[in-house]
Structure 1
Amino acid sequence: MSEPDRASGTASEPVEPLEPTVVPDAPQRSLWRDGNFLTMWSGQALAQVGSQVTELALPVLAVLLLHATEFEIGLLNAAGVAAFLVVGLPAGAWIDRMRKRRVMIWADAVRAAALLALPLLWWADLLAMWHLYAVALVVGIATVFFDVSYQSIIPSLVRANQIAEANGKLESTRELANISGPALGGWLIGLITAPFAILATVGTYIASFVALLLTRDHEVSRDAEDRGPILREIGEGLRWVFGNGLLRRIVGTTGISNFFNTISFTMLPIFLLRELGLTPAAMGVIFSLGSVGGLAGAVATPHIVRWIGEARAIPVSAIAFSAVACMLPLAATFPAVAFPLLVVQGFIGSFTVLLYNITQVTFRQRITPPRLLGRMNASVRFCVWGVMPIAAVLAGALGTWLGVVPTMWIGASGQLLSALCVVIGPFWFMRALPDAQH
């Protein structure tokens, strides 16, 4: 659902000025006329589509071609997100010492190379589940570095008064990818099988690699003398996040929601393909149609924020996406209308998650000093994504013990609790969230 925050300091230099790493304000100009941002944006649009193809192709490959069990699917999901728990915190400190665009370039290269191994192994009739675990783990590690950099690079690409616009455009693209990617993935899987559909993702990561090579940023690397011990810098990032009461509540809601959402969605491929008997193409269409809500949410967020206020948008959206989670296992009770029920659930869930994410990510980026952005984002990611591998393994164990549908009900019930962190608190009594005080 969401991500991280940072901090840093030295004994000799109290606060580093913003100018080296943040594009200063200037007369407003639409990002549609900013060729540099458009170059980066176009590469990310293609990569997002490709990642959606693989998100569908990997579980289909495991369930239908390698006949994976519930526990094996849990392990596969855990491998994909384990990196956020294992290297999430040090990644933020390392990224704060490096040029973020360069980190993203290397991450794209690693992801493309790792995924290329799967169709080659399948073609050679050597592919096994452990190969999927290994590739998912490598891609997950590269994604940690890419995503933390991705969320931290925006202030060095656009002016401060364009950060919200840039986030809105990037989230809109993500949702367009969520709409087109699963449907494209389902079609490719039916046409050339799941292993070779992954080649489409490899191509899009290469396109992102090239676009980032052509992008220019305004970031300046931190001086070597401005770097403390790695553990101290990790601690600064954590203290920055948990020292802010509003951020603590946002992290609480997001982390709890992600934990229980992972329990539900780990079982989703088996639920759709085996329990409901749907085809991979139908599974892709459900994801695509549901994701239309995310695009609508990205477009509607500025209007909703103006209507109810930035602060209130957070608990309102949290209540909505937590409540509709119950519609997912409910589809098993009404199999005759499962398809439209799942589409409606996906639409409302995607709409409200996008409203929540754009609002809170913009708030985090706005209040965090530029030199702490990597550690801020890594700290939040560690907390809210680090729970996901644990939840995925638990989902596999619960699915084996209780069955798929009861496990999904546990996930849905837990999500109802997640909204409490932001519902009970100061958000209702504020209209605007605070600005940076550095």
Structure 2
Amino acid sequence: MATQLIGRIPRLLHQVTFRRFWTAQTISYLGDQVSTIALPLTAVLALDASAAEMGFLGALASLPNLLFALHVGGFVDRHGRLRRTMILCDLGRAAVLVTVPIAYSLDALTLTHLWVVAFATGTLAMVFNVSSNSLFAAIVRRDDYVQATSLTRGSFSFSWVAGPGIGGTLVQILSAPVALVIDVVSFLGSAFLLRSVSVEEPKPEPHASKSHIRDGVNFVRRTPVLRAKFLGGGLLNLFYTVYFTLFLLFIARELKLTPGMIGVALGLGAVGALAGSFVTGRINRRIGIGPTFLLGSVVFPGALALVPFATDDKWVAFGLVVAAEFLSGMGLMLCDISGSSIQQALTPDRFRSRVQGAYLGLINGVRTAGALVAGGLGTLVGLRPALWLAVIGGVLSCIPLLFAPLARMRELPDQAE
């Protein structure tokens, strides 16, 4: 598998259509993740937000996944126009985000403004991701599917680690609200690249029945590996959201790390994600794709335990944050690339948008609850104990995966019926 990956990825990247699609997608994902740190740091540094207010901000960013993702998946299958939808989502996010530095420069920025921006950008990001998943299947030949999935999911996972690091550095240089201007430029660049992508899109299903959405959910429910993956992933997302919502408050206020140190620590953590992307194929070949997925599901949250271990010594704390982000980034890539490849292999073409909608609705939607729980825990028990609870819960979230036939899965599974 590793030999195949090395042999085919360069060929994929030399295909103009895929390269432009992948680059636009990567830029858009990176812009999303820059926002995940620039918006909260704007709330913390410019508006002195409390733990509860930070929790509400995080909840609003993920709430659209809970409210709309299943319906968007059905809508995409019925109406198509995937590329046009993605371009509009990029332009919409640019227009919404640019209001933050404008309001800040006029001394008119409020928490309510940030809450509206978080909800709007979260909605547009969700629509973009559902449409992107379906357009991917139209661009990539089935023979190249696993390798292309590794590239697209790899860039998505990498953005989760690199984006906050870039955002922290930009905040240090420009201030949090002004850093969002760079984010706006990234979405405009993504839209420009998508305009140049020429592809025959899959035909929509305009006469789909009212059970269209329910059929996609039932497919996940009837497939043991997907059912376990969604349940375990939902729990992991819940506890990781609790962790990340309080993480910035903890390292900025209690560990006294500067925005620049935060950006560098998270940026160095991106190296771990990059290393994970290189070794995932080798580990898959050595122990099997199912065990690799299980391993990543434990390492990703488990490594974060180093952060609440941190002391008041700023440089010791900085080193522990770097180590935690590096190891967690590796675990994320092992988990996400392997898990996404398994999901793509199991899912028939006719269910792709609906399964992706179910993924965003049932997995990422729990981030809304996680952000609210984080606000409550941070207020009631304090930041450090709340981080410990989040890390322990994240590690235990792999338990549902143990009841699915993942430990014995050496190769990618056949498509489920």
Q: What's the TM-score bracket when you normalise by the shorter of the two chains?
A: over 0.9
Aligned match for 1:369, one of 331, 344, 348 = 348
Contact 2:158 2:333 in 1 (8 A): no
CA drift at 1:187: 3.4
RMSD of aligned Cα (Å): 2.0
CA drift at 1:277: 0.7
Distance change (3 Å), C-alpha of 1:29 and 1:294: closer
Aligned to 1:407: 386
CA drift at 1:127: 0.4
Q: Secondary structure at the match of 2:203?
A: coil
In structure 1, what residue type is equivalent to 2:348?
A: P
Aligned to 1:250: 229
CA drift at 1:417: 1.2
Aligned to 1:356: 335
CA distance in 2, matches of 1:372, 1:290: 35
Aligned to 2:202: 220
Contact 2:24 2:193 in 1 (8 A): yes
Unaligned 5+ segments in structure 2 are: 1-7
**CA shift digits 1:99-144 (9 cap, x unpaired):** 3222211111111111011111111111000000000000000011
Task: Tell me if 1:122 matches 2:86.
Answer: no
In structure 2, what residue type is equivalent to 1:149?
A: S
Task: Tell me if 1:136 matches 2:121.
Answer: no
Distance change (3 Å), C-alpha of 1:153 and 1:184: same
Count matched residues: 409
Distance change (3 Å), C-alpha of 1:385 and 1:130: same
CA distance in 2, matches of 1:235, 1:334: 53
Map of 1:123-272 to 2, 5 A cutoff? 123-174=105-156, 177=159, 181-225=163-207, 227-229=208-210, 232-272=211-251
Aligned match for 2:298, one of 280, 302, 319 = 319
Distance change (3 Å), C-alpha of 1:79 and 1:308: same
CA distance in 1, matches of 2:158, 2:406: 30
Q: Secondary structure at the match of 1:356?
A: helix
Aligned to 1:389: 368
CA distance in 2, matches of 1:314, 1:221: 33
CA distance in 2, matches of 1:387, 1:175: 18
Unaligned 5+ segments in structure 1 are: 1-26
Aligned to 1:430: 409
Aligned to 2:42: 61
Aligned to 2:51: 70
Aligned to 2:5: none
CA distance in 2, matches of 1:47, 1:40: 11
Aligned to 1:289: 268
In structure 1, what residue type is equivalent to 2:174?
A: I
Which region of structure 1 is more displaced relative to structure 2, 104-113 or 46-55?
A: 46-55
CA distance in 2, matches of 1:173, 1:265: 20
In structure 2, what residue type is equivalent to 1:41?
A: W
Aligned to 1:7: none
CA drift at 1:50: 2.9
Aligned match for 1:95, one of 52, 67, 76 = 76
Task: Tell me if 1:307 matches 2:286.
Answer: yes
CA distance in 1, matches of 2:312, 2:169: 28
Distance change (3 Å), C-alpha of 1:65 and 1:29: closer
In structure 1, what residue type is equivalent to 2:111?
A: M
**CA shift digits 1:185-242 (9 cap, x unpaired):** 33332332211110101011011111111112232322423x112xx11111110111
Distance change (3 Å), C-alpha of 1:218 and 1:365: farther
The structure whose RCO (Cα within 8 Å, separation 6+) is larger is 1
Aligned to 1:21: none
**CA shift digits 1:239-288 (9 cap, x unpaired):** 01111001111112111111011111110111111111111111111111
TM-score by structure 1 length? 0.88
CA distance in 2, matches of 1:407, 1:384: 21
Distance change (3 Å), C-alpha of 1:329 and 1:138: same
Distance change (3 Å), C-alpha of 1:106 and 1:165: same
**CA shift digits 1:298-343 (9 cap, x unpaired):** 1221111111111221212222224223223222587652211111
TM-score by structure 2 length? 0.93
